[in-house]
């Protein structure tokens, strides 16, 4: 439920995150939850006739011990298509809402929580790109992926026909991302979310994946944009097994006094998740009821849609999603995150209307 944001505990600093002991899991994951996040792959067949679609196979040219599927009836796809898109309009002259709200996250009792992830060295490819040297990326847990901690497991890679970006779980079957990441007006569109994705690992999809049945949000009118967010409804309720992050409108006066974390999948990391710590907000632009939160520049393409978040005591809350970057006057180039009440209102709509 939405509650006043002032009820939250103060945000943890990086030193406090480092010093805080993990919260252990207290239960074993139930079989139905374990089945929910099993890796899934293969072709998909859509048929308007019956569930028993007919097809035939043939020899692919120059290949041995392989078959090529020849469609006869139905539509054979390598993705699951989405069904509905809803574009919301915004009023640039809208008054700021009274009070801030937050929506609580969820950590399943079978999931360990860690305030800092295991970290691996800064990758050479990213260093050559000219990105900041303090960037780190999350260490893979290939042999024990089921123990990958909360809330880091809620963040994942998004793929679409037009590219993709980053997204994060905000409900049992809800993913929040940037509005410019989702494929507006695409025919036969699809969106895939892969939590904790790690390209190059023996198991790059340790918690399975899900396609999106519909999304709802704002189509960007500028870059960056204070309304640059969309909430996606997953076919599979991955959040019931993995947990999800809380969200907060965060328009209060103490927002600039906190340290924030930014997480995402920059292209320079080659499909590996990255994280920046101890980010401070340098400026806030008001697009009521949306806002642009500006930090020092670090992110790159692919990071779009990733959360800007912090720990309020033991609970993680996202205050915005990565929208882009900008330069104002004599100010340096800064990353911009879109957030505030229009964002939490989207999450609330999903929780109220799209629960599995």
**Each residue's pLDDT tens digit, 15-55:** 999 899 999 999 999 999 999 998 876 777 776 656 666 66
Same-domain pairing of 90 and 232: yes
Please name which of 193, 152, 205, 157 lies closest in space to residue 39, comparing C-alpha atoms: 205
**Same-domain pairing of 55 and 146:** no
Peptide bond into 289 cis (omega under 30): yes
Same domain, 179 and 209: yes
Alpha-carbon Rg of the chain, whole angstroms?
21
For residues 165 and 232, state if they share a domain.
yes
**Do 62 and 7 share a structural domain?**
no
* CATH number, domain with residue 126: 2.40.10.120
For range 92-105, the mean pLDDT = 77
Same domain, 279 and 148: yes
Q: Are 344 and 249 in contact (CB under 8 A)?
A: yes
Cis peptide before 224 (omega within 30 of 0): yes
Answer yes or no: do 25 and 57 share one domain: no
Strand partners, 232: 175, 215
Binning the chain into helix, strand and coil, the percentages to the nearest 5 are 15, 35, 50
Q: For residues 345 and 101, give the distance between their C-alpha atoms in angstroms, rounded to a whole number.
A: 9
Mean pLDDT of 96-119: 86
Any idea how long the chain is?
356
* pLDDT for res 139: 38
Q: What is the pLDDT of residue 60?
A: 67
Q: Is the pLDDT of residue 132 over 60?
A: no
Count the domains in the chain.
2
Please check whether residues 62 and 203 belong to one and the same domain: no
Shared domain for 61 and 150, answered yes or no, is no
Work out the pLDDT band at 283, boundaries 50, 70, 90: confident
Give the list of residues 6+ apart from residue 157 with CB closer than 8 angstroms, or none: 164, 166, 167, 193, 194, 197, 265, 271, 273
341: phi then psi, degrees, rounded to nearest 5: -65, -35
DSSP conformation letters of 242-300 = H-B-EEE---STTGGGS-EEEEE--GGGTS--EEEEEE---EEEEETTEEEEEEES---
Rounded to whole angstroms, how far apart are CA atoms 288 and 118?
38
Reported as a single tens digit per residue, the pLDDT across 289-302 is 677 787 776 666 66
Domain extent, residue 49, equals 44-77
pLDDT of residue 323 exceeding 90, the answer is no
Q: Give the residue-averaged pLDDT of 317-346.
A: 82
**Residue 240 structure tokens:** 């019931």
* Same domain? 64 vs 88: no
The reply to whether 68 and 143 lie within a common domain is: no
Whole-number Å distance between alpha carbons of 323 and 66: 44
| Direct distance between the N- and C-terminal alpha carbons of the chain, in angstroms, rounded to an integer | 17
Asked if residues 189 and 289 have their Cβ atoms less than 8 Å apart, the reply is no
**Cross-strand pairs, 275:** 136, 263
- Same domain assignment for residues 52 and 158: no
Most confident of 58-62, 73-77, 78-82: 78-82
């Amino acid at each position: 439920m939405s509650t006043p944001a002032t009820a939250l505990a103060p945000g943890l600093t990086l030193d406090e995150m480092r010093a805080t002991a993990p919260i252990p899991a207290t239960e074993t994951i139930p079989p139905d939850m374990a089945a929910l996040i099993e890796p899934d792959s293969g072709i998909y067949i859509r048929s308007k006739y019956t569930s028993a679609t007919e097809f035939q196979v043939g020899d692919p040219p120059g290949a041995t011990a392989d078959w090529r599927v020849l469609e006869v009836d139905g539509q054979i796809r390598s993705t699951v298509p989405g069904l509905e898109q809803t574009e919301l309009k915004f009023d640039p002259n809208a008054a700021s809402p009274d009070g801030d709200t937050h929506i609580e996250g969820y950590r399943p009792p079978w999931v360990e929580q860690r305030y800092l992830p295991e970290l691996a060295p800064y990758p050479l490819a990213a260093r050559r790109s000219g990105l900041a040297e303090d960037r780190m990326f999350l260490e893979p847990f290939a042999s024990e992926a089921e123990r990958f901690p909360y809330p880091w497991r809620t963040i994942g890679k998004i793929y679409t026909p037009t590219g993709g970006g980053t997204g994060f779980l905000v409900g049992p079957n809800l993913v929040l991302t940037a509005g410019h990441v989702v494929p507006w007006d695409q025919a036969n569109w699809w969106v895939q979310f892969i939590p904790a994705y790690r390209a190059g690992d023996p198991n790059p999809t340790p918690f399975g994946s899900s396609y999106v049945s519909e999304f709802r949000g704002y189509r960007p009118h500028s870059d960056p944009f204070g309304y640059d967010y969309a909430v996606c409804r997953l076919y599979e309720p991955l959040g019931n097994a993995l947990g999800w992050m809380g969200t907060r409108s965060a328009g209060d006066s103490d927002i600039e006094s906190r340290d924030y974390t930014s997480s995402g999948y920059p292209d320079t990391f080659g499909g590996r998740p990255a994280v920046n710590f101890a980010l401070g907000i340098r400026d806030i632009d008001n697009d009521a009821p949306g806002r642009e939160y500006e930090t020092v520049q670090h992110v790159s393409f692919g990071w779009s849609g990733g959360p800007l978040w912090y720990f309020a005591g033991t609970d993680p809350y996202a205050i915005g999603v990565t929208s882009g970057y900008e330069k104002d006057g004599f100010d340096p180039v800064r990353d911009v995150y879109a957030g505030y009440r229009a964002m939490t209102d989207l999450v609330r709509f999903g929780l109220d209307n799209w629960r599995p």
